[in-house]
Amino acid sequence: MSAEELNTRRPFLMSTIRMAASFRSAGSMRGQMFQIMSYLADHMLLRAEHSIDLLMGVVVVLGWYHYHSTAHTQLNNLLCLAESLVSGLGINQPVFTPGRGEMTKTNEEKRLLLGLWYLKSVASGHFHMLQPTPFTATMSEYLEELERDGEQRSDDFLVYLVKIQHLSERIVETTTSSIGSKAQEATVAKLQNTLRRAAGTLPHQLRTNGKPNPQIQARTSSKR
């Protein structure tokens, strides 16, 4: 898809991509972020709009949040808006829902749900001001389907990031639970081994991509 086609089909997404691409100019980024937040306030809060275009744009902003977080503290609001869009669009609902029948989900929607889960999980782990979203059976199903279909090269990266982050969450949950110390140690050791095996089975292009991947390294080394 060309930039012109993307701008026509997903205008809000295109505006967030332009913002993310402006990281060399903090002033330009701040100005564009103001316009983006104003657009969200108008379309989501005043018009009650729910669209894939809006959700994609919010996910892009969240993914590049580290570039403008010092000047724009809207992380919690953006995560909540994204979850509202996911719920409004029914993306987090099982494929078959009683009373609504079967709802086919596109790979695009599956990526958005898993990407948002990953971003919120990382944010809750780093800032401790948000409760992580539970990793549901629906998410697990979508993860398996994306891995099996291999529609986009980037799907491999998303799948492994989500898998490793999910294991990291389970380790944290176990270490903070009230189960006996011996059982806790055994469970943590088992999960850590699973985490290291997952990292060890990364495809070569994901493990290095020409240089060490900081996101994957951070998820694994911090749990050793």
Q: Give one word for 81, left, alpha or beta, with left for phi > 0 and alpha for psi -120 to 50.
A: alpha
pLDDT at 212: 43
Compute the average pLDDT of residues 153-170: 87
Q: Using the predicted structure, report yes or no on whether residue 8 has a pLDDT greater than 90.
A: yes
10 Å CB burial of residue 119 (0-12, 13-18, 19+) is: buried
Over range 4-18, report the average pLDDT. 95
**For the chain, percent of residues with pLDDT exceeding 70:** 75
Who wins on pLDDT, 164 or 68? Answer: 164
Please report the pLDDT score of residue 13 as a whole number: 97
Q: Is the pLDDT of residue 215 over 70?
A: no
- Nearest residue to 60 via CA among 10, 3, 13, 9: 13
Q: pLDDT at residue 175 above 80?
A: no
Which backbone phi and psi does 107 adopt, to 5 degrees? -60, -30
Residue appearing with tokens 């949950």? 173
pTM of the model: 0.79
pLDDT the model gives residue 208: 58
Mean pLDDT of the chain: 81
Asked if residue 210 has pLDDT above 90, the reply is no
What's the confidence (pLDDT) of residue 220?
46
pLDDT at 155 over 70: yes
pLDDT band at 96 (very low <50, low <70, confident <90, very high): low
Where in the chain are the domains?
1-89, 100-224
CB under 8 A, 24+ apart: contacts of 118-125: 118/158, 118/161, 118/162, 118/165, 119/59, 119/62, 119/63, 119/79, 120/79, 120/83, 121/165, 121/166, 121/169, 122/165, 123/75, 123/79, 125/168, 125/169, 125/172
Angle between helical axes of 181-200 and 153-175 (0-180°, round to 10): 170
pLDDT of residue 55: 97
pLDDT for 23-70, tens place per residue?
A: 888 889 889 989 999 999 999 999 999 999 999 999 999 988 765 554
- Kindly tell me the burial class for residue 93, based on how many C-beta atoms sit within 10 Å of its own C-beta (0-12, 13-18, 19 or more): middle
pLDDT band at 177 (very low <50, low <70, confident <90, very high): low
Q: In the prediction, which pLDDT does 129 show?
A: 63
Q: Report yes or no: 159 and 146 within 8 Å, Cβ to Cβ.
A: yes
Q: Which backbone phi and psi does 89 adopt, to 5 degrees?
A: -85, -10
With a cut of 90, say whether residue 132 has pLDDT above it.
no
DSSP E strands in the chain: the ranges are 96-97, 101-102
Bridge partners, residue 101, by sequence: 97
pLDDT digits (tens, 9 = 90+) for 98-130: 565 567 889 999 999 999 999 999 888 777 667
* 25, two tokens: 């100019």
